[in-house]
């Protein structure tokens, strides 16, 4: 029996009344009820409380968030420092650029010349028209214009290259045309460059190792001759002492080459490279210095006696 049933029974006994319920039946029902209560208690004990689950989850979430909080702060601080560094760097660069362009360092301060041998450095600087104290980068951007000015004003200059040198300096690198021959007019000599241009510079005596051009009046003919002359082997060039223009009525290309070995060669300007390739072989077969005629074919004859000299003179007069 349950406690309340016991108490009820005792109370009825005290009052002299008989209980309305059957004690023999009640115990079974009470027992069944007790069993059910025990089962429910056991089930409740085995089953975790629903109220505890949210509390545990909340506690775990709190602990997880608390663990992550320092890392989140660290990441945010790192990002903030990076952004601040970027912004500060941009401002500093902008300030430095502004300061540079208002300072003397952004102006051309010095000009140097290298590679020149015959052309004076000061002339190169003057003809370039570069200005000190003017914007360095503006002039550097227009450097092709200044390079062309140098080449146009100084015929000896084959190539001029302007480059940066130091903080605010330019260097002009010069490549010059070679002087390959001399033109003689009234015993005054003028240099002839490898491009066929005759300089106005005057020389009182020829330069050793350079052929002297005589009787040339047409600049175009000189350029054609220089182009052919530049194709000759170096040993042949060194053996030529004088080149005389000797055209005939039928042939305006004839020239006479006076060789240092005392031979004279008659040849066409357009065939100079082709025919002079046989000069060494022909001259080697000659017993004495003479004339090698290469105008039509190739043949030679000596000039060691009066008859031959007269024949050679008549041949020369006919050519002239």
Q: Which CATH architecture has domain 105-176?
A: Roll (3.10)
CA 320 to chain centre: 56
**pLDDT per residue of the chain (320 residues) written in tens, 0 to 9:** 666 666 767 766 676 655 555 555 445 555 555 566 666 655 555 555 444 445 555 555 555 555 665 677 777 788 888 888 899 999 899 898 888 888 888 899 999 999 999 999 999 999 999 999 999 999 999 999 999 999 999 999 999 999 999 889 999 999 999 999 999 988 899 999 999 899 988 988 888 788 999 999 888 999 999 999 999 999 999 999 999 999 989 899 999 999 999 999 999 999 999 999 999 999 999 889 999 999 988 999 887 644 444 444 444 333 34
Looking at residue 207, what is its pLDDT? 81
- Partnered with residue 281 across adjacent β-strands are none
pTM metric for this prediction: 0.64
Q: Provide CATH code, domain 179-319.
A: 3.40.50.10960
Q: Which residues contact 245 (CB under 8 A, 6 or more apart)?
A: 213, 214, 215, 216, 217, 221, 254, 255
Helix (H) or strand (E) holding 164: strand 157-164
User: How confident is the model at residue 74, as a pLDDT?
Assistant: 77
**pLDDT for the residue 55:** 55
**Whole-angstrom distance, CA of residue 12 vs CA of residue 20:** 10
The predicted pLDDT at position 57 comes to 54
What SS3 class is residue 14? helix
Looking at residue 39, what is its pLDDT?
63
- How high is the pLDDT of residue 204? 84
Beta pairing class for 169-176 and 157-164: antiparallel
**Domain chopping of the chain, boundaries:** 61-102, 105-176, 179-319
pLDDT of 315 reads: 40
Could you tell me which of 233, 221, 319 has the C-alpha nearest to residue 270?
A: 221
Maximum C-alpha span of the chain: 193
How is residue 295 annotated by DSSP? S
Question: 118: closest CA among 38, 51, 174, 49?
Answer: 174
- The helix or strand, by DSSP H or E, that contains position 243, with its residue range, turns out to be strand 240-245
Same fold, 105-176 and 179-319: no
Q: How long, in residues, is the chain?
A: 320
pLDDT given for residue 229 in this prediction: 94
Q: What is the 3-state secondary structure (H, E, C) of 71-124?
A: HHHHHHHHHHHHHHHHHHHHHHHHHHHHHHHHCHHHECCEEEEECCCCCCHHHH
Q: Please state the separation of Cα 217 from the chain's center in Å.
A: 45
Starting from the edge strand earliest in sequence, which strands make up the sheet with 290-293, in order?
A: 188-193, 179-185, 212-214, 240-245, 254-259, 264-268, 290-293, 299-302
Contact predicate 174/115, CB 8 Å: yes
> What gap in Å lies between CA 190 and CA 289, rounded to an integer?
30
Q: How far apart are CA 265 and CA 256, in angstroms?
A: 6
- The 3-class SS string of 171-226 reads EEEEEECCEEEEEEECCEEEEEECCCCECCCCECCCCCCCCEEECCCCHHHHHHHH
Read off the tokens for 17.
Answer: 């009344």
- Give the HSE-up count for residue 169: Cα atoms under 13 Å, Cβ half-sphere: 9
Quote the pLDDT of residue 151: 95
SS3 135: strand
In this structure, the strands spanning 264-268 and 290-293 are parallel
Q: Which of 281, 235, 246, 240 is CA-nearest to residue 263?
A: 240
């Amino acid at each position: 029996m349950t406690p309340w049933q016991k108490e009820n029974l005792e109370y009825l006994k005290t009052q002299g009344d008989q209980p309305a319920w059957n004690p023999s039946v009640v115990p079974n029902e009470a027992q069944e009820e007790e069993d059910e209560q025990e089962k429910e208690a056991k089930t409740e004990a085995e089953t975790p409380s629903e109220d505890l689950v949210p509390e545990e989850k909340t506690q775990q979430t709190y602990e997880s968030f608390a663990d992550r909080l320092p890392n989140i702060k660290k990441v945010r601080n790192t990002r903030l420092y990076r952004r601040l560094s970027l912004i500060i760097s941009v401002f500093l660069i902008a300030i430095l650029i502004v300061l540079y362009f208002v300072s003397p360092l952004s102006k051309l301060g010095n000009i140097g010349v290298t590679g020149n041998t015959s052309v004076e450095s000061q002339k190169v600087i003057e003809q370039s028209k570069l200005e000190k104290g003017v914007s360095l980068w503006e002039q550097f951007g227009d450097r092709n214009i200044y390079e062309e000015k140098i080449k146009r004003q100084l015929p000896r200059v084959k190539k001029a290259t302007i480059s940066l040198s130091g903080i605010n300096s330019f260097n002009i690198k010069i490549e010059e045309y070679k002087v390959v021959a001399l033109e003689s007019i009234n015993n005054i000599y003028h240099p002839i460059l490898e491009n066929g241009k005759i300089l106005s510079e005057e020389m009182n005596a020829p330069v050793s190792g350079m052929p002297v051009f005589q009787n040339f009046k047409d600049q175009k003919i000189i350029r054609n001759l220089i182009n052919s002359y530049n194709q000759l082997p170096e040993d042949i060039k060194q053996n030529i002492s004088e080149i005389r223009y000797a055209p005939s009525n039928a042939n305006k290309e004839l020239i006479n080459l006076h060789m240092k070995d005392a031979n004279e060669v008659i040849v066409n300007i357009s065939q100079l490279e082709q025919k002079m390739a046989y000069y060494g072989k022909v001259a080697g077969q000659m017993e004495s210095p003479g004339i090698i005629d290469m105008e039509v074919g190739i043949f030679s004859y000596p000039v060691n006696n009066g008859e031959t000299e007269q024949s050679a003179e008549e041949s020369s007069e006919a050519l002239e």
